[in-house]
Amino acid sequence: MYPNGLVRSKVAAGDAHIAVFVRNLRGGGLERVSLNLANELSRRGMQVDMVLAEADGVFLELLDPKIRVVDLNAPSLKGYTFGLSRYLRREKPKALLAQGEEAGVASIVARWLSRVPTRVVVSCHSTISQYVPRSQYFKVRFLPALMRLTYPAADHVVAVSSGVADDLAERVSLSRSQIHVIPNPSIPSDFLTLAPEKPAHRFFSSGLPVVVAVGSLVPAKDYPSLLEAFSMVLRHRDMRLIILGEGAERERLEGLISHLGIQDVVDLPGFVDPPWPFMAASSVFVLSSAWEGLPTVLVEALALGCRIVSTDCRNGPSEILEGGRHGELVPVGAPSEMAAAIVRALDRPLDGAAQKIRARDFMPAPCLNAYLPLLLPIKAAEPFMDLT
């Protein structure tokens, strides 16, 4: 636990000092967004601490070497709240950006315990009305109540999409006007120049269309609907499906794949980082989620110029795709409509230029420009503003 945990590199005195707090960097949209924000802050010359409940994960090595990593070594909410309090009392950063709903609760309580003037900005990524009732963790049921108790004390509350903001306002003691909407910096600064090589996966050498989906094997992603949709498509067109990700639903999904008799044309390779070569090589990228906040992977698909099919779930896909301008939108849990959309997408002309223009809205620079006035007093933020 801090200060005895891992601390990498020294702090340069005199710089604007900002801490980014997230539970870990093990992979996933929230973690990638935290990585992108921290790196962009560092790129602009700020003194950045990446504060982690547990300092592990595949994204650790992608942090700018100038960023200091602070390991609280405390996996529980109670543990990292007290660890964060000790960190704040010792380091006194000018601002703390809490990534995620639980991190927001911990950060606000930690500031109260530490009695420091650090500004706390909370970034909310989940649709609480969808996430909480479906969570397998009993403690999550108390999250809305904890948010109602603590969030009014935050300096600012940010939602990653308008839908998340609307949902948050309904369930937390905040008016909608108090919630800022700032999209996730879902893609790194150099993303639009990437040219991923085609993966060595056998499906890409078959000469057949390949559908790709990316995300943890969890109920929120509703992969059963995708598998049923894919089995319907196979009645008319021969193609392949790859789902990248790992999670508790693997056994159930493998059982459904076997039941549908599609085990020879579907592969679940597990977690792959980065997934971009698979996405770039896909014939169609599909997001089948039952709910989201602002799906990072959908922004990545836009930037890579993929043909896209997505559920019109709460929240994010319709905002990202601008109501279907950049991809097909289908109802949640509707395999037959998803199947028809996959077939349409295969024949749909791509407007790669328009997709890349839209993807720029989710790059670190414009997103951080929106965050800076919240994190720092305007006079401190002005020298770092970068409108490129």
100-130 pLDDT tens trace? 999 999 999 999 999 999 999 999 998 888 8
Residue 4 lies inside a defined structural domain of this protein = no
- Per-residue exposure over 148-178, b if at least 16 CB sit within 10 Å of its own CB, e if not: eebbeebebbbbbbbbbbbbbbebbebeeeb
- Per-residue exposure over 91-119, b if at least 16 CB sit within 10 Å of its own CB, e if not: bebbbbbbbbbbbbbbbbbbbeebebebb
Residue 10 lies inside a defined structural domain of this protein = no
- DSSP 8-state code for residue 238: -
Do 121 and 164 lie in one domain? The reply is yes
Compute the C-alpha angle 371/57/193, nearest 5°. Answer: 60
- What is the count of structural domains for the chain? 2
Do 128 and 112 lie in one domain? The reply is yes
Q: Can you tell me the distance from the alpha carbon of 284 to that of 47, in angstroms, rounded to the nearest whole number?
A: 41
Which element (helix H / strand E) includes 218?
none
pLDDT for residue 378: 58
Do 142 and 213 lie in one domain? The reply is no
- DSSP 8-state code for residue 46: -
Q: Can you tell me the distance from the alpha carbon of 297 to that of 286, in angstroms, rounded to the nearest whole number?
A: 10
Do 128 and 232 lie in one domain? The reply is no
Instruction: Using DSSP, state whether 261 is helix, strand or coil.
Output: coil
Which element (helix H / strand E) includes 270?
strand 266-270
pLDDT, averaged across the chain: 90
Do 234 and 369 lie in one domain? The reply is no
The alpha-helical segments, DSSP class H, found in the chain are 29-43, 77-91, 101-114, 128-134, 143-150, 162-171, 223-233, 250-260, 276-281, 296-303, 317-320, 335-347, 352-359, 364-375, 378-381
Do 178 and 281 lie in one domain? The reply is no
Do 342 and 200 lie in one domain? The reply is yes
pLDDT for residue 138: 65
Do 249 and 339 lie in one domain? The reply is yes
Do 172 and 35 lie in one domain? The reply is yes
Q: Can you tell me the distance from the alpha carbon of 250 to that of 291, in angstroms, rounded to the nearest whole number?
A: 19
148-178 pLDDT tens trace? 999 999 999 999 999 999 999 998 888 999 9
198-248 pLDDT tens trace? 999 999 999 999 999 999 999 999 999 999 999 999 999 999 999 999 999
Do 173 and 133 lie in one domain? The reply is yes
CATH of the domain at 53: 3.40.50.2000
Residue 141 lies inside a defined structural domain of this protein = yes
Predicted TM-score (pTM) of the model is 0.81
Do 83 and 206 lie in one domain? The reply is no
Do 316 and 225 lie in one domain? The reply is yes
Residue 29 has pLDDT above 90, yes or no: no
pLDDT for residue 243: 99
Distance of CA 305 to the CA centre of its chain: 19
pLDDT for residue 195: 72
| Burial class of 67 by CB neighbour count within 10 A (0 to 12, 13 to 18, 19+) | buried
String of DSSP letters for 273-337: SS-HHHHHH-SEEEE--SB-SS-HHHHHHHHTT--EEEE--BSSHHHHTGGGTTSEEE-TT-HHH
Residue 7 lies inside a defined structural domain of this protein = no
Residue 159 lies inside a defined structural domain of this protein = yes
Q: Residue holding tokens 């909407």?
A: 181
CA atoms within 13 A on the CB side of 388: 7
323-381 pLDDT tens trace? 999 999 999 999 999 999 999 999 888 888 899 899 988 988 899 999 999 999 754 44
Tokens of 315: 């929240």
High-pLDDT (> 70) share of the chain, %: 92
Residue 239 lies inside a defined structural domain of this protein = yes
pLDDT band at 382 (very low <50, low <70, confident <90, very high): very low
Residue 5 lies inside a defined structural domain of this protein = no
303-324 pLDDT tens trace? 999 999 999 998 889 999 999 9
Q: What is the span of the domain harbouring residue 259? A: 191-361
